[in-house]
Amino acid sequence: MSDSKLKKVLVGVGGGIAAYKVCEVVSTLFKAGMEVRVILTNSAQKFVAPLTFATLSRHRAYTDELFWRSSNPRPLHIELGEWADVFVIAPLTANTLAKLACGIADNLLTNTVLASKCPILLAPAMNTEMWEQHTVRDNWEKLLTDSRYHSMGTASGLLACDRIGAGRMAEPAEIVSHVYSLLHTAGERDLFGKQVLVSGGGTREYLDPVRYIGNPSTGKMGLALAQAALHRGAKVTLVHAPVTWELPLGIEAIPVVTSEEMQQAIMLYLQIADVIIMSAAVADVKPRQYSKHKLPKYRLPDSLALEPVTDIIAEIARRKQPRQKLVGFAAQTGDIVTPALEKLQRKSLDAIIANPIDQPDSGFGCDTNKAVFLDRSGQKIEIPPCSKLKMAHHIFDFL
């Protein structure tokens, strides 16, 4: 993120095999221009050496030995606690979880938690049986009643103990994205209790089982919107066309292919949504006839008969309640504002995001974007080039 310079992220590493994944977290944050400091528990040092984290963060790593022998004028845990903008604990072990839930401070990591005020992101990792123990679940639920703590949850899959089940630590990219969000919001959950419905990706309208009418949308903007809403406390449903990226933890994902399938899925969740953001690139037309078998080349028509598909966002606008906000996207070339304003009025949207697809580092497939936010009250706010996650947060800020 271009505005991440001078942001300070403190990473606490617990004693679990997933500690090796935290190397990627630290490296990514440093490359993004952030200052990173790392605390290792004694158990963590048995999995990854302090020198590894010192090299990746370009700063010495902190251990209990340094804590107890520190000759600093001020206590080390106080300095680190006051220094951090965001505190990440990964992997969060059952042992450290129990200490945090009970307010125990018997090492540098737990002392620093109690000496800090910044948001704390928790990425637990442990064996399935351990994760599902009543005492562990009680500690987890107790800890999350404190608004300082933000949860990554755990994934399911093959664990280091060869068990297949819950308990895997979130992937480094997910942890990094959540850190970006916390740096933007300072941990505020302004969407808590809200239901956010997002569409993303490009629909496909098939001529036969192989050929289709489509577009280059990758769904990255929809993913960013879903992540931003989740990180701000919302319950999120993402209806997405075919994508290549893995879906993050905590988001209810509904995969679809065609515009008709997307319409059906969205209408199923429409009534419970407080905010609906239509970032999907939905087809405007589809082949009039569909062949169940692949057409040989010689049977392809010289001209393809087309028919319009249902205008999903217009249908939503007709059905939406006064309490709901409906936001659309307008991907344009050339003048992006005039057609977006026309679409805003014609489809009775509350707001629209106009973004160029004919400029470098913007539009389909890019990790970055730029846009103009327009709403019915007359606001016109330019969003400068930034990551799509940052843009998603700007959109929720404006809403």
Task: Tell me the pLDDT tens digit for each residue of 384-395.
Answer: 999 999 999 999
Asked if residue 3 has pLDDT above 50, the reply is: no
- Indicate the pLDDT class of residue 70, thresholds 50, 70 and 90: low
CA angle 349, 350, 356 (to 5 degrees): 70
Task: Tell me the pLDDT tens digit for each residue of 259-293.
Answer: 999 999 999 999 999 999 999 999 999 999 999 99
Asked if residue 254 has pLDDT above 90, the reply is: yes
Structure tokens at 74: 């001020």
Residue 102 appears among annotated catalytic residues: no
Binding site residues, as ranges?
284, 294, 329, 343, 347
Binding site residues for CTP, as ranges?
284, 294, 329, 343, 347
Task: Tell me the pLDDT tens digit for each residue of 296-320.
Answer: 999 999 999 999 999 999 999 999 9
Domain 8-185: which topology? Rossmann fold (3.40.50)
pLDDT at residue 71 in the model: 66
Average pLDDT, the chain: 94
Asked if residue 5 has pLDDT above 60, the reply is: no
Amino acid letter, residue 184: H
Domain 195-398: which topology? Rossmann fold (3.40.50)
Helix H, strand E, coil C: the string for the chain is: CCCCCCCEEEEEECCCCCHHHHHHHHHHHHHCCCEEEEEECCCHHHCCCHHHHHHHHCCCCECHHHHHHCCCCCCHHHHHHHHCCEEEEEEECHHHHHHHHHCCCCCHHHHHHHCCCCCEEEEECCCHHHHCCHHHHHHHHHHCCCCCEEECCCEEEECCCCCEEEEECCCHHHHHHHHHHHHHHCCCCCCCCCEEEEEECECCEECCCCCEECCCCCCHHHHHHHHHHHHCCCEEEEEECCCCCCCCCCCEEEECCCHHHHHHHHHHHHHHCCEEEECCECCCEEECCCCCCCCCHHHCCCCCCEEECCCHHHHHHHHCCCCCEEEEEEEECCCCHHHHHHHHHHCCCCEEEEEECCCCCCCCCCCEEEEEEEECCCCEEEEEEEEHHHHHHHHHHHC
Domain boundaries, the chain: 8-185, 195-398
pLDDT at residue 141 in the model: 97
Cα dihedral 241, 242, 244, 249 sign? positive
Task: Tell me the pLDDT tens digit for each residue of 130-148.
Answer: 999 999 999 999 999 999 9
pLDDT at residue 2 in the model: 41
pLDDT at residue 158 in the model: 81
Identical fold between 8-185 and 195-398: yes
Contact 366, 374 (CB under 8 A): no
Task: Tell me the pLDDT tens digit for each residue of 82-129.
Answer: 999 999 999 999 999 999 999 999 999 999 999 999 999 999 999 999
Reported pTM: 0.93
pLDDT at residue 161 in the model: 82
Pick the catalytic residue from 118, 161, 366, 386. Answer: 161
User: What burial letters (b/e) apply to 359-378, b meaning 16+ CB within 10 Å?
Assistant: eeebbbebebbbbbbbbeee
Task: Tell me the pLDDT tens digit for each residue of 154-205.
Answer: 988 888 888 888 889 999 999 999 999 999 999 999 999 999 999 999 999 9
Region 221-246: what's the mean pLDDT?
96
